Chain A
Amino acid sequence: MTATVTHAAQQDSPYALTHLDALESEAVHIFREVAGEFERPVVLFSGGKDSIVMLHLALKAFAPAAVPFSLLHVDTGHNFPEVLDLRDRTVAEHGLRLHVAKVQDYIDDGRLRERPDGLRNPLQTVPLTEAISAHRFDAVFGGGRRDEEKARAKERVFSLRDEFSQWDPRRQRPELWQLYNGRHAPGEHVRVFPLSNWTELDVWQYIAREAIELPEIYFAHEREVFNRGGMWLTAGEWGGPKAGEPVQTRMVRYRTVGDMSCTGAVDSAATTLDAVITEIAASRLTERGATRADDKMSEAAMEDRKREGYF
């Protein structure tokens, strides 16, 4: 019996990149592809950690020139003030242009109606899709990661959306090598996910490595919260707490930053980046499972919202 089977016990070559360098390089490639192929790209920017990392990558991709994209924030009206503050400081620091589409405007003039449960994340889709068509954006960067949710695991890096912004998983283009196909008909656009292959831990490690500033709510702090559906929510004008939901002061931090009405905090003592990374590495809950009410509404909640045009 001759053996052509080999046992690969060799070390990685000196040219092997660390996983963070490989992910960074891939994300930068994606930003540059869009800059090279599209007319009017925009970066969705909320001031949350994923969008801050995206902006950091875009700044690196085009340095020493400016980022050739504007930014878009879909504002639910229930924001954490610390997050809006960092959003505005970041935009000013880099001389960027920020478009804001406000859910509140849609509610005020009757185009959207407040939901009985008070959740505003599901209401974001209409202002988002209308902003895309009003500004004629043809590529829209989102910070979505495939590790977040099982419907997202099926998402392409370049995700074609029809004129209604709808996602059709059956109509997805296969993606091979690094050849991204951004062709689209007038009215259609492409959602682009440079962080597709990153995990929550990768994002945090990259933030630590690059010393990226984040809103303070990502780190443990004392906060007045109340419990609803197993999550610690922050009291606010958006409709909490109700009677029977006592407020208490706890040491908490946020893993995701979205609308206050549906983003929960977790008990935590992690006040530094290293402590946060250690905590996430040990966590037995996914980011969304721990703190996002809107994903728990049904088994295919994310998929259904994506089909309608959500990220």
Chain B
Amino acid sequence: MTSTTSPLTAEQLSATTLLRFATAGSVDDGKSTLVGRLLHDSKSVLSDQLEAVERVSLGRGQETPDLALLTDGLRAEREQGITIDVAYRYFATARRRFILADTPGHVQYTRNMVTGASTAELAVVLVDARNGVVEQTRRHAAVAALLRVPHVVLAVNKMDLVEYAEPVFAAIAEEFTAYAASLGVPEITAIPISALTGDNVVEPSANMDWYGGPTVLEHLETVPVSHDLTDCPARFPVQYVIRPQTAEHPDYRGYAGQIASGLLRVGEAVTVLPSGRTTTISGIDALGRSVDTAWAPQSVTVRLTDDLDVSRGDLIAPSGSLPPVTQDVRATVCHLHERPLRIGERVLLKHATRTVKAIVKALPYRIDLSHGLAHENDPVALEVNDIGAVQLRTAEPLPIDTYAEARLTGAFLLIDPADGTTLTAGMAGEAFAEPPAAPAGAADDEGWDF
């Protein structure tokens, strides 16, 4: 199977799905080359962009175009070689469209990878085949596990520099898989590649006939998307109340929002949180069509049977599976800002469509991702890029899931009330998921199943 790089027809283009993924890798792992090759081989780098890169490269006395210039877009980045935050890139094949959160490998990277991984359904972790699993690799795996990215790809790069040797790949894949699985990463796919020569990136490698699995692009094209959102109980944060009050619609009252997880059905008994009032769904309008069911991540307008007091910030959920409502939030957080987070600090907590006041009651521990997830208990503060546990008391009750159960309604931001700065990314509940139970008969498996 090769992907289509010739022009796509209108029919081919209309039925495609969207995959959001993130890359992680340090500077020397070849991330830019991999990203450059994915963009280039999928025809997403157009000739005027390439010409611009060539022009600048030549102007600097380089003989070959520096593909990193495609991704380092800002003046300061090009002049100083620094990378500012996440950039988003777009490419498409006949089967799927991709949004790539391109997270810089060096400066400030824990928070960058957390940012990129927060919306990703898949993360690509790059490893240099010569170095194997290193501290940085474990950190990437830990962030992917922490953010509950559903699919992780281990791309063992630079296979050309280890004679394309299967045992090298198998050993790295085994070590990484064992580590990531122990953190609760649900699905790991290991692929031996050479980003430089193109082996197993878009085209299958002629140098590694021992590998029978998909290329990176093939995997990106076929991995299932969105299934995990519809598996969860329904959560509908109310964004905005629509009340036209016109002659045509004198009594219309709809609650607009994007379904965060699960399915909603007309006739279903629902509860409005935090008030706890119950009613049923009398209608669902999906951007102009009246529908019987709607699911995540659709933006819809829901109408209710009873005239309740419902406003922005409320959460509508099926009465049979409600999230806990609490003023005491325990969470794992990644601190994003240079200003440290301390006990006693007053912050704003933004959860779904609701923003409430909160106070930091305790900082139970911080995690050192680099050394086997060692816990440092009772730190003085959380510094930028720190991952740790936080206990918060909120001014109002909050319907909040654990992040492990619902990625969107288990997530929140902490904001500085003084100047609006985004301080911290929060995930309610414990840091890492339980490792998945070994499937029955796994011990009989003849080997690597890719």
Contact = CB atoms under 8 A, between A and B. Distances in A.
Contacts of B97: 19, 199, 202
Contacts of A183: 348, 415, 419-420
Contact of B99 (A21, A28, A197): A197
Interface stretch (A240-248, A254-262, A278-286): A278-286
Contact of B49 (A35, A66, A197, A289): A289
B275 interface: no
Interface stretch (A82-90, A108-116, A145-153): A145-153
B301 to A, nearest CB: 8
B111 A25 contact: no
Nearest to B114: A176
Counting chain B residues whose Cβ lies within 8 A of the other chain, the interface size class is: 35 or more
Contact of B92 (A15, A66, A177, A199): A199
Interface in B386-444: 407-408, 411-413, 415, 419-422, 425, 436, 438, 442-443
Interface stretch (A44-52, A70-78, A165-173, A212-220): A165-173
B161 interface: no
Contacts of B223: 8
Interface in B120-178: 151, 170, 173-174, 177-178
A32 B333 CA distance: 27
B449 A3 contact: yes
B242 interface: yes
Contacts of A10: 222, 224
A17 B70 contact: no
B14 interface: yes
Contacts of A201: 13, 92
B76 A170 contact: yes
Contacts of B226: 12-13, 15-17
B421 A173 contact: yes
B189 interface: yes
A2 B287 CA distance: 48
Contact of A13 (B190, B230, B419): B230
Contacts of A25: 258, 287, 297-299
A55 to B, nearest CB: 14
Given A3-B442, A177-B118, A183-B420, A154 B87 contact: yes
Contacts of B9: 278, 281
Contacts of B75: 300, 303-304
B405 to A, nearest CB: 15
A290 interface: yes
B448 interface: yes
A181 B350 contact: yes
A249 interface: no
B314 to A, nearest CB: 12
Contacts of B420: 160, 181, 183-185
Pairs of residues from A and B, 3 with the lowest C-beta to C-beta distance, nearest first: A183-B420, A289-B48, A150-B73
Interface of B: 7-10, 13-18, 46-49, 52, 56, 70-71, 73-76, 84-90, 92, 96-97, 99, 111-112, 114-115, 118-119, 151, 170, 173-174, 177-178, 181, 187-190, 213-214, 219, 222-227, 229-230, 239-240, 242-244, 246, 248-249, 252, 256-258, 263, 285, 287-288, 295-299, 312, 336, 348, 350, 352-353, 407-408, 411-413, 415, 419-422, 425, 436, 438, 442-443, 445, 447-450
23 contacts: A1-B174, A3-B442, A5-B189, A8-B224, A12-B226, A13-B224, A16-B224, A24-B287, A25-B297, A29-B299, A35-B239, A61-B299, A65-B252, A153-B73, A154-B84, A169-B74, A174-B112, A174-B336, A174-B422, A176-B411, A209-B14, A284-B46, A284-B47
Interface of A: 1-13, 15-26, 28-29, 32-33, 35-36, 60-66, 146-147, 149-151, 153-154, 160, 169-170, 172-179, 181, 183-185, 196-197, 199, 201-202, 205, 208-209, 274, 277-278, 281-286, 289-290, 299-300, 303-304
